Amino acid sequence: MIDYKSIFKVNKKKAIVVGSNGLLGVEIVNALLSQGATVLGIDLKKNNIKSKNYIFKKIDFSKTHKIDKELENIFKSFGVPDIFVNASWPRTKKWSQLNFSDSSINELKKNVDIHFNSYIWSARLIAEKMSKKKIKGSIILLGSMYGVVGQNINIYQGTKMRENFAYAAIKGGIVNFTREMAAYYGKKNIRTNVICPGGIEGHVAGLNKKQPINFLRSFKKIVPMSRLGKPYEIASTAVFLSSDASSYINGATIMVDGGWTSI
């Protein structure tokens, strides 16, 4: 008989979480620690997590030309992980200007490089190392509901928020890259899945401000569950995908969006 209590845990597993100081990254680290994993967090700033099973390294994964060397150093000191989660959101200072009426090709190129390229290159390197070490691994990438459907421009009325075609394009690319990874590495017992959050409670990315009231009202009117998601709801999904409870889930796009993409 299957021990269902144990297969949801990640005891004795090693995990790397990129973006460990972000709104979602912090919760994912805490969730993995609570289920028995040893976690290496990667970000530009350290969070306040205190655990004997938590290690932090200040590394800038947006510098794509350095990812190979940085990961090799991690493999030597920490080992090859069983779980790799990329919850980072690297972006330029002008990323919010990447809307259809106000953008530049240079900003687009920069954001594609530091966001999309850093995701796919680090995931590939991790998968290759897992394969060589014959690790039955789980790779989890953070997408977005806007990598699956177009942005609803109406919810930004009465705010300074705008559409962002670069974000939608990058997240859409990550979603399909996940499928490609799953198709190739599945036979090596390495699973790759993408979590696509909907609107999440918290600050406006890059601005450290609360979400505008008009935006919240419009959003809640449209989403079937009439509310934004909470960071722990993303983190619990990440733990599930990290555990043996999801051992036959590979190449999936997991929507955690309150039903937004169902209508």
Distance CA 263, CA 241 (A): 25
**What tokens were used for 140?**
């989890």
Residue 263: burial class (beta carbons within 10 Å; 0-12, 13-18, 19+): exposed
Residue of 154, 150, 157, 140 lying closest to 261 (CA atoms): 150
**Any bridge partners for residue 83, and if so which?**
15, 138
Burial class (CB in 10 A: 0-12, 13-18, 19+), 220: middle
Q: Pairing relation of β-strands 203-204 and 209-210?
A: antiparallel
Cβ atoms < 10 Å from Cβ of 221 = 10
Active site residue 185: no
Catalytic residue among 119, 146, 156, 167: 167
CA distance 243 to 155: 36
The residue written with tokens 């705010």 in the block is 159
In this structure, how many other beta carbons lie within 10 angstroms of the beta carbon of residue 107?
A: 18
CA distance 107 to 101: 14
Helix axes 118-132, 67-77, angle to 10 degrees: 40
CB atoms within 10 A of CB 219: 20
> What amino acid positions are annotated as catalytic residues?
167
